[in-house]
Amino acid sequence: MDLPLKHSIQNIFIQVGQFDRYAIFDFYYGSDAYQKYGNTVYGYIIYTPSERAKLKLEINSHNVGNDDGLVLLDGALQDTKKNKLLKTEGFYARDVRSLSALDIGPIKNQYDNADVKDIPNTINVDFSPDLFDGERMQLLLFRKRIKEGIPLIPAEKRMYFSLMLLLERDQLSDGDKNTFLINAETGKFYDDVLITSLKTLVYADRKNSPFRAALNNALANRRKERVAFICRHLGIATKHIDKLKNENEEAWMELMKLVYGFEDETLTLWGWTQHVYWDFERFIHIYLRHYKKFLINESSKGQGTGFQYTLKDIRRIINIVLDANKEEIENRLKAGKGFHIQNDNGYYFNGNYYSLKINPDGRLMQFHPQNNL
């Protein structure tokens, strides 16, 4: 069918693509796209970094083309099979009869936005639990995961039995206690166990708690171990951490909160059959190398591409990218293989492309924004 090219790939980029607008495509009756998808499709256009950079360069030049080309769409149709085809096979611009856009908010070019960003459509809920309510809720969540076959990583298993030690001591068997909570070399509780089971008790009775010395010792051991890792990772000495306190106390305080408070966790939960998790070493790598608010000039490792988000939103971005690639990640992990996307295969969200690397055991190894081309 020989039809006029009403919307070239350049025109589509100018109108909707460069702004990541929600696009609505109507097809010519009888065209290949019409026969494959029906009259109308809608969603967000998918570009690789090199495609976006090429189109951006072209529309800013004095020689803008009028070309047919393949359009891939992150579709929002009711038919999931068609959505998958839109994302993998797409349609050609020559089949587009009309193009419109649905805008929820102001039109912005997030790709060229270098400021700190907010995740669209995010709601923050404040939660202030009473004494032990947080621990009880966490124990219930662990039990729900176990019941539904969602595995706990080793650190979570230790936390699970530590919570039983705190809340349900009579239900904790000697076998589980010796296996998960006691260090066989010292015959004493692991530091993580003491931190989980004692911190609320001590904070609730700040002055007189008989457990304060044990908790402080466990926290001191955690700090020593984790600061040593940070120094090795950045190629610095502990004096540079102390120097940070004098030069940027806000950054130092935030770092110390993470050193003391971070707990290994599973990032993928409900609806996943394979787990992806991060531990302190991988989390702190992302924080130290890619968080713009943190930089130690003496580091021999430099700083990688920086996130344009606050720390709490970086965690949310990771889950957005994981969920978007869920099917492929799970298939790879089930087969005993890792998962890796980068460069032109990076995942695009809100103006940035992201690289992601996961080990075959589900450990998150890398996650960072790519440099915009």
Span 215-250, pLDDT tens digits: 999 999 999 999 999 998 888 888 888 888 888 888
Tell me the residue range of the domain where 103 lies. Answer: 9-107
Percent pLDDT > 90 in the chain is 49
Cα 66 from Cα 63, distance rounded (Å) = 10
Question: Average of pLDDT values for 309-330?
Answer: 89
- Looking at residue 101, its pLDDT comes to 87
Pair 159, 103 in one domain: no
pLDDT over threshold 80, residue 357: yes
**Checking DSSP bridges between strand 40-46 and strand 364-369, what pairing results, if any?**
unpaired
pLDDT over threshold 80, residue 103: no
Query: Has residue 124 been placed in a domain?
Result: no
Cα 150 from Cα 147, distance rounded (Å) = 8
Residue 358: which H helix or E strand, with range? strand 352-358
Cα 11 from Cα 27, distance rounded (Å) = 16
pLDDT over threshold 60, residue 97: yes
Cα 144 from Cα 356, distance rounded (Å) = 28
Query: Has residue 122 been placed in a domain?
Result: no
Pair 196, 343 in one domain: yes
In this structure, the dihedral spanned by the alpha carbons of residues 64, 65, 69 and 74, taken in order and rounded to 10 degrees, is: 20
- Looking at residue 33, its pLDDT comes to 94
Number of domains in the chain: 2
For 186, list phi and psi in degrees, rounded to 5. Answer: -105, -20
Pair 357, 227 in one domain: yes
Pair 95, 154 in one domain: no
pLDDT over threshold 70, residue 17: yes
What is the layout of strands, in order, in the sheet containing 70-75? 91-92, 70-75, 40-46, 22-27, 96-102
Q: What is the DSSP letter of 181?
A: I
Query: Has residue 212 been placed in a domain?
Result: yes
**CB distance 5 to 65 below 8 Å:** no
- Looking at residue 121, its pLDDT comes to 57
Span 175-223, pLDDT tens digits: 999 999 999 999 999 999 999 988 877 776 666 677 888 999 999 999 9
Cα 345 from Cα 217, distance rounded (Å) = 46
Pair 309, 216 in one domain: yes
The number of residues making up the chain comes to 373
Token readout for 8 is: 């070239």
Mean pLDDT of the chain: 86
Pair 254, 163 in one domain: yes
- Looking at residue 127, its pLDDT comes to 45
- Looking at residue 180, its pLDDT comes to 94
**CB distance 17 to 99 below 8 Å:** no
Pair 182, 326 in one domain: yes
pLDDT over threshold 90, residue 329: yes
Q: Which residues contact 317 (CB under 8 A, 6 or more apart)?
A: 119, 307, 309, 349, 354
Cα 165 from Cα 176, distance rounded (Å) = 10
pLDDT over threshold 70, residue 140: yes
Query: Has residue 117 been placed in a domain?
Result: no
Going by C-alpha positions, the residue among 143, 151, 145, 180 that lies closest to residue 165 is: 180
Pair 219, 354 in one domain: yes
Question: Distance between terminal CA atoms of the chain?
Answer: 37
Cα 33 from Cα 91, distance rounded (Å) = 6
Least confident range of 67-71, 108-112, 345-349? 108-112
* 140, amino acid identity: L
Query: Has residue 173 been placed in a domain?
Result: yes
Q: Which residues contact 144 (CB under 8 A, 6 or more apart)?
A: none
Q: What is the DSSP letter of 277?
A: E
Task: Identify the band that residue 303 occupies on the pLDDT scale cut at 50, 70 and 90.
Answer: low
**CB distance 358 to 279 below 8 Å:** no
